[in-house]
Chains A and B, each alone.
Chain A
Amino acid sequence: MTLIKPTRRGVIQAGALAGAGIAMPTILTAESHAGYRNAPQGSTVTLGFNVPQSGPYADEGADELRAYELAVEHLNGGGDGGMMNTFTANGSKNALKGNGILGKKVEFVTGDTQTKSDAARASAKSMIEKDGAVMITGGSSSGVAIAVQGLCQEAGVIFMAGLTHSNDTTGKDKKANGFRHFFNGYMSAAALAPVLEKMYGKDRKAYHLTADYTWGWTQQESIAAATEAKGWETVKNVLTPLATTDFSSYVAPVLNSGADVLVLNHYGGNMVNSLTSAVQFGLRDKQVNGKNFEIVVPLYSRLMARGAGENVKGIFGSTNWHWSLQDEASKAFVKSFGTKYGFPPSQAAHTCYVQTLLYANAAETAGTFNPCGIAEALEGLQFDGMGNGATEYRADDHQCFKDVLVVKGKDNPTSEFDLLEVVEVTPREQVEYAPDHPMFAGGDLGQCNPGA
């Protein structure tokens, strides 16, 4: 944000005005001349954690917040260091020293997005304007992520997206100041389609139920394209209103539609309810076209899947990360998170933790908190040891490219956290796409904005 630099005269006048009440005020201008917005003053740097604390995603938000607090603890040298010990950037060890970022102790402010773009922007603005946050991160839906990303671009701070799965976040709504570690609809579809083909065969007829808003559409478009490429036929795509709680009316006609697979392009509460309805209607016990009827949930959230209870058993989907992964990085993260909080982290927690470390590392390598410096350090960054294997932050659209997990609802869970099992780790090459892919076209990264 450009600030009017107070002229000398303006300051004197204002001082005289206020001086009437307070004897000998010291007059300073708040903005240092660091050349970017909210340059940290003194010995601390403030990060803004903007997560849903009320509304349907409050639990996911709470888990994100736990991850952020853990990340801050690790950055400041506390705890066991978690993934700081495994994280490698551009082939060498990361630049994090455990003394904060650039020697400044990390502090944070939190806010409630309420999963509404207005509230999320208000909250982010207060972090930027009032608390001097130099980076905003978090969120649990694409609408919010895109809204806050736009705000951060205008305000001149970095946005490290939390859980956002829509193609648009790094597609038509991408911004130079915004970065996404989480995967997206296209990648889900690309990872899922081969597994579905392998499990259910080439000759399938799919019926889609799709949440009637932007994320749902991009998700459906991606998965339909990917499965059709494998020989599936999309029988029908039915849009369901966001406010639907009882999906029976949408599920009831499925069985007699000639389809033998139901794809639920829903997330969160919608997913829980539509899946529950589908199972209640006995779809999974039926045979159509001589094949077992199957249900697919392209985007899984373990936290939410718990709400569907036993209904998730045997159902395929994709996820960004899962705590049962056995690589060193994931194990280290699960250990420090689990020790601190008593349960394993969710994928939302993972992506938020990773984003924070990535930001900190970028600041260290760039030697500044200036968003343009950080963007430069993040663009094209090759890193590993963060639980997803070798990963790249692509410079063209600020999207991370990494392996994608295909998971299945576990048949015999051993604990309340053990709901999903990883059936395949789809390699990165398979989910990659060109920056100008039609599903992502139309956007413009623009120029990085340091805000001053």
Chain B
Amino acid sequence: MSSFELLIILPIILGFLGYLISFLRNEFYFLGAILNFYYAIRIFLISRKIEVTRKIFNILNFSVDKLSGFVLLFISLFTLLILIYSIRYLKYYEKKKEYFYYFLLIGAIGCGTVLAGDILTLIIFWGILLSLISLIFGFFQYATKEGGEFAFVKSISILGFSDFLLILGLGLLFISYGNLSFNLKLPLNNTINILSFILITIGCFAKAGAIPLHSWIPEISKVAPAPTMAFIPASLDKLLGIYLLLRISYYLFDLNTNFVLKNYLMIIGSITILAAVLMALIQKEVMKLLSYHTVSQVGYMVLGIGTGIPIGIAGGLFHMLNNAIYKSCLFLTAGQVEFWTKETKIEKLGGLAPNMPITFTSFLISALAISGIPPLNGFFSKWMVYQGVIYLYKEGNYLFPLYLLSAMLGSILTLASFLKLTHSIFLGERPKEYEKIKEVNFSLWFPSALLAFLSLLFGILAIPLPIKGLIYPSLPFRIEEFGFWQPLLAFILIVLGVIVGFVIYLFGAVKKVERKDIFVGGELLKEEERHFSGDQFYSPIKEAPLLEKGYEFGEEGSFDFYNYLTAIFSGFSLLFKEVIDYILELIYHQIAYFSEIFGGLLRKIQSGILSDYLFVIFIGIIIILLILIL
């Protein structure tokens, strides 16, 4: 057994043991995740040197190259970290036994998906992942929160829909070319290739959560616990979806051979960035807000990959990694807050920074990272994407200003919304009931703190560590050296600036915060009304003349693909039911009815009067005579 099988099978077995044996249950899960991580590292290290392929059962074909090696590593890492988090977080969860098992399975199968070396293997693992996701989402129906069932149905509908299209696309390739491995660079110039490319991208979009297939993420965020959100939509599905998009765009196919498809990706990316972030801006719930950001960030990756410019692609890939890091960190920290407060409404929270310093720090770093504040990693990858977009002009693609604009605007609005979020949760007035809140345990804060640290690390040491070590080697391009950005230098400068600011704070005029009573209309504002949360920050935006309509639509679900999906299919259903079924029923009932009526009429022939009978009989003989003699 090589590392490939062990990587996948060991978590499955250990998870199953944990599922069966109540004794040492958590240790089994933990061991499974650890072993998974261990083998992931091994495979990662192997993949640095050579490309390995392995066939199992003559059907599963695994292969690892530098790209899949590094994605594998991170999937495994996230599995481990979030498992540690959730073992504590979901300690009192009713069905945790199954939950952890499926969680571990998702991690293992996610690794398998990345390792898939040909089309069939990919289909199988991708599908198994869907089934596991639906199994784990099945738990939310038991959640006390409302809407669990709907969220389950919606997310599985969208994911299943896109997966079926993905299977169709892959099947089309399978039929046309046989069972392909992924390093072929097929030109996108014939119908089959283009069609299957589009179908597969739909699968990727739904998984990663790009508009218009994003709506399952905000929906599931209403009911899912924080670690699930951190794991599935925020890290695993991002990694897998974007990984696959990259795979098919530049390995299986060559996106650069089709100008239109590139723009298709970039348009989707830009719209995703802007629309999702605008929706995020006005959310009143932490998880939902974060989930809209999850969607929004996908836009950068899709945009980056869509550029076809090496630096842009690298940016997209790097952004995928960064996003997974800081977004899971955000979800986890939000979860830590929820762990004590049992609250996710923005207006009910506030002022928690002193109580939960580590959580706050982690959250702040990640929030800054997602907003693209230098020198954090988010900035760096976004910047690479911008560069890629700008380089488009060299190719004569004059739509690039629009893409650039939306990307930058998205970044700004992200910052804006995170200002609101940070303020609402950690700063501002603290409600009374939260005064006794303490920092969470080690096993809860450690994963998020580690992720925050990674954000920081990948930001400061961006070039030596992730870019040179992970991103560039993974891509099959020669990437030109770029710009003058030196993250370390910038960091030092920023730190210097902060120190200067601190000095000024110490010695300057700003000494002490002065508390004053608040008056409204001449009256003293009551103590309990004094709490001011951030959820109203951007109400003006919502009421802006142009955006107002858009928000209305958005709130009504007009941008929700699920509604269209169900509407279309319901329409067809109605048609089938009311037309075809109705007609058939009608025909069969009419036949029965007709034979009843016909029988009723015919039986009147038997009148009971002998003369009538004789008359008919004599007519009969006359007719017979006429027929036979004439």
A binds B: no
Using a CB–CB cutoff of 8 Å, the interface residues on chain B facing chain A are none
Using a CB–CB cutoff of 8 Å, the interface residues on chain A facing chain B are none
